[in-house]
Structure 1
Amino acid sequence: MPPACSAMFQNDVWLCGYAKGDQNIDSGKNEDEIMLQMFGSDEEAIAKIPTQVQTLPGEGPGEVLVSEYKPIPEPVPDVDYLQELLAIQQQGPRAIGFFGTRNMGFMHQELIEILSYAMVITKNHIFTSGASGTNAAVIRGALRAEKPELLTVILPQSLKKQPPESQELLAKVKHVIEKPHNDHLPLIEASRLCNMDIISHVQQVICFAFHDSRLLMETCQEAKNLRKIVTLFYLD
């Protein structure tokens, strides 16, 4: 009798877990047979272990939930990108709005003049505002092309609100649109309204800005929202 078992008997059953008569029967069996009888075969144990799918919760007891196969959807074409690509590939002149910072070096201004000149001689209509820096370079380049009908300058306020050097340059422009009703507004707010007006007249926007040029970034985003072609050049 194993030492861990009690010497007491109850209904001829040993407290260690098997009947009294089993001692003599099991004495003739080897250890493997005893383990097999107590715990079952390895195949039976493996068969009872639930699979990963069987462990998923189901509607009721014993129900196996099988995950449904869902094919990966095909990517949807970017409609805005396709429209922009189509507009770029279309031949013929278009209305182009130029925007940019006042704080610009001499070399950058020369490049913008060349770009503006090239746009006008290819019969594109240029829209810009009246200010120093980018706008002044755009106006000078467009005037060099000697096609005054293809340049329109929209001012944020009345002409008298412009600095003297800008007034001198604007005197050479045939189409200048003033907004004296915005003279009472801060310049930043009047410029925002002016930029929105220019966007409404053009199909494409070309902008020269720094990453922290908040008003210009807002202008470009608004142009994108209106499905305009936006070309943004960062100066930093």
Structure 2
Amino acid sequence: MVGGLRTRRLDEVAARSCGTLRPSPRAVHAARGVGATVGGQHVARDPGSNAGRIAGVGLPSRLPGKRRELSPVCLAGLGPDDLPSSAESIVKGTGNAPQVLEVAPKPPSDIEYLQELIAIQQNGPKNIGFFGTRNMGFLHQQLIEILSYAMVLTDNHIFTSGATGTNAAVIRGALRAERPDLLTVVLPQSMEKQPPESQELLKQVQETGAKMIEMPDNDDLTLFEASSICNDDIISRVQQIICFAFHDSKLLLETCAQAKENKKMVTLFYLD
């Protein structure tokens, strides 16, 4: 009679504490060792089971050499030791929830971290390459011109190409600083192949004594191919690049990726 009252009270407490939760397989297994009622269902006692006893009696612990005491609160979960750890939840998942395995991206090597740290802490002048789209508004061009002007005033050597838009703004800013020795313009093709709207500014570059490099061997190539070669040449001359691009600027994004592969510092500004 005492065992029946204990079982009934245990069932009531479990129902109040757990609501309509289904008992876990571990709880059913533990209850089978003593023949208890779990979640409103009677579990027959398994004579050969040593899963333990309930209602305040010691149960086996997953910790070696220890046993734990359980209060008959909720048989749907036997206690903290029966709950999966954070690591187990990640590896094995929880319950019947779908498990999604993701491969973590390979972290940068220690050498790459050190190279970036040294480059950031290097306060001296640098060779900086400017790249960017031809299609940008007047306000963006003004900001780039100011940035180029400030870079030259702080003794940085500026490398850029000769197109309109970003390149033209960079050239104007560098010329304003009146340090032609700190400006190098690399053309993807010969001077004659440059658009008319760029040639006037390029003539100013020549008149100030700034260095201008032409690539007449690329005159037979498409502008895209010649520009790609030109960008690679600029990357080889600098420690850092600053790029202004849109998300669909294929050549510029490829240039940034190439610079990163060559361990250059890359600062990329998206205009959209």
Both structures adopt the same fold (TM-score exceeding 0.5) = yes
Counterpart of 2:220, as a letter, is: H
Q: CA deviation at 1:109?
A: 0.1
Count of residue pairs the alignment pairs up: 173
Task: Please report the TM-score for the alignment, with normalisation by the length of structure 2.
Answer: 0.60
TM-superposed CA distance for 1:76, in Å, is: 8.0
Kindly provide the CA deviation profile for residues 112-136 of structure 1, in whole angstroms up to 9, marking residues without a partner as x: 0000000001000000000000000
Residue 83 of structure 1 and its aligned partner are, at CA, apart by 1.9
Determine the C-alpha separation between the residues in 1 that align with 2:180 and 2:50. 90
Q: Does residue 118 in structure 1 map to residue 154 in structure 2? A: no
SS of residue in 2 equivalent to 1:84: helix
After superposition, where does 1:34-73 map in structure 2 within 5 Å?
42=45, 44-47=47-50
Instruction: Return closer, same or farther for 1:83/1:170 CA change in 2, 3 Å cut-off.
Output: same
- How many Å apart are 1:232 and its aligned residue? 0.1
Number of the residue aligned with 2:237? 201
Secondary structure at the counterpart of residue 258 of structure 2:
helix
Distance 1:192 1:117 in 2: 26
Q: Shift of residue 99 of structure 1?
A: 0.1
Q: CA deviation at 1:165?
A: 2.2
Letter in 2 for 1:193: I
Number of the residue aligned with 1:154: 186
Residue in 2 that maps onto 1:188: 224
Change in 2 beyond 3 A, CA 1:188/1:78: same
Residue 216 of structure 1 aligns with which residue?
A: 252
Q: Which amino acid aligns with 2:117?
A: L
Superposed CA deviations along residues 85-134 of structure 1, whole A, max 9, x for unmatched, are: 32011111000000000001000000000000000010000000000000
Aligned position for 1:60: none
1:6-47 CA-to-partner distances (Å, cap 9, x unmatched) read xxxxxxxxxxxxxxxxxxxxxxxxxxxxxxxxxxx9474214
1:78-89 map, 5 Å: 78-89=110-121
2:14 match? none
Query: Equivalent residue of 2:158, what SS?
Result: strand
CA displacement at 1:84 relative to structure 2:
1.3
- For residues 43 and 115 of structure 1, the distance between their equivalents in structure 2, rounded to whole angstroms, comes to 81
The answer for the alignment partner of 1:27 in structure 2 is: none
**Residues of 1 paired with 2:231 and 2:132: CA distance?**
11
Separation in 2, partners of 1:153, 1:177? 6
Match of 2:214 in 1: 178
Q: Quick one: distance in 2 between partners of 1:103 and 1:78?
A: 39
Distance 1:105 1:84 in 2: 32
Secondary structure of the structure 1 residue equivalent to 2:248: coil
Match in the other structure for 1:103: 135
CA distance in 1 between partners of 2:129 and 2:48 (Å): 78
Q: Sequence identity of aligned pairs in percent?
A: 70
Shifted more, 201-210 versus 83-92: the winner is 83-92
- The separation in 2 between residues aligned to 1:232 and 1:83, in whole angstroms, is 18
Letter in 1 for 2:261: N
- Output the CA distance in 2 between the equivalents of 1:76 and 1:44: 58
Determine helix, strand or coil for the equivalent of 1:221.
helix
SS in 2 for 1:127: strand
Q: Tell me the C-alpha RMSD between the 2 structures.
A: 2.3
More RCO (CA 8 Å, sep 6+) = 1
Deviation at 1:80, TM superposition (A): 2.1
**CA positional deviation for 1:77:** 6.1
Aligned residue number for residue 141 of structure 1: 173
Q: Distance in 2 between matches of 1:229 and 1:85?
A: 10
C-alpha distance 76-116 of structure 1, shift in aligned 2 (>3 A): closer
Given residue 93 of structure 1, which amino acid in structure 2 is its aligned partner?
P
Distance 2:113 2:263 in 1: 10
| Equivalence for 2:36 | none
